[in-house]
Amino acid sequence: MRPRFSEPPMRGTMRSRKSLLPDWDAMYRMGTPPWEAPGPAKELVQILDEGLLKPCRVLEIGCGTGADAVLLAKRGFEVTAVESSPIALERARSRAQRAGVLIRFVLEDIYSFGRHCGAFELVYDNGFYHYARLVDLDKFLDLLWRVTQPGSYYLTIAGAPDPSIQDGFPQVSEQSLRFELGRLFQCIQLRSCRLHTFHRPEGYLAWACLMQRPIIQRA
């Protein structure tokens, strides 16, 4: 039986806030995680095709098995991809090798990595923000502040409200997304999209939100 979003293996005690996060590596050991997609996020492909983002130094938070990281590398981005699951990262490295692209893969907790990695021109996450906000939003915003600088872009793809879905990604309202991320960034574009997975080819409702950290104007 495949793992479900609503019943993931959990880290630590069920009484802790951290228990809201799945045990990522356990999910990969069980087989194909429910969030795994057959290829790169279609919305990321569209954003790149539209020219909204130009090749630059990019940090991907939670790269999984590397589909989006490989796409970005193929499009000329200098990619650093961080993942805490050894199994997922091993698959990501194999994917990059087959694609013939060079990616800096890092096996580390993203919060630890963020303390020493410096700033990137683009930070991208596909499905990390909507989990992180449930555990410690302030900690996640502090991470984003550390890994960006004025002028840096942040692109997130996050689950959107859908009353018809009982089991799926964590859902974030438009108002919450704008308010929470607006503490650090200016919204450039926010639009509806779908997060496609192996287990749900038609996808889940989602947001694609492109933001930029304000550039400080000095007198």
Task: Tell me which DSSP letter residue 148 carries.
Answer: -
Q: Which residue, among 211, 75, 77, 69, has the nearest Cα to 148 in the 3D structure?
A: 211
Could you give the CA distance from residue 145 to residue 139 in angstroms, rounded to a whole number?
A: 10
HEC secondary structure over 139-176: HHHHHHHHHCCCCCEEEEEEECCCCCCCCCCCCCCHHH
Q: Which amino acid is at 97?
A: Q
**All domains of the chain in start order, with CATH:** 42-212 (3.40.50.150)
For 13-72, the DSSP string reads -TTSGGGGSB-HHHHHHTSS-TT--SSS-HHHHHHHHTTSS-S-EEEEES-TTSHHHHHH
pLDDT at 15: 34
| Tens-place pLDDT, residues 14-49 | 234 444 556 777 878 777 787 888 899 999 999 999
| Tens-place pLDDT, residues 65-102 | 999 999 999 999 999 999 999 999 999 999 999 999 99
CB 86 within 8 A of CB 65: no
pLDDT at 2: 40
pLDDT at 14: 29
pLDDT at 45: 97
Backbone angles phi, psi at 54, to 5 degrees: -100, 155
List the structure tokens of 7.
Answer: 């019943």
Q: Which residue, among 55, 32, 47, has the nearest Cα to 157 in the 3D structure?
A: 47
**What is the number of helices (H) and of strands (E) in the chain?**
7, 7
| Tens-place pLDDT, residues 135-188 | 999 999 999 999 999 999 999 999 999 998 877 889 999 999 999 999 999 999
Q: For the chain, what percent of residues have pLDDT higher than 90?
A: 74
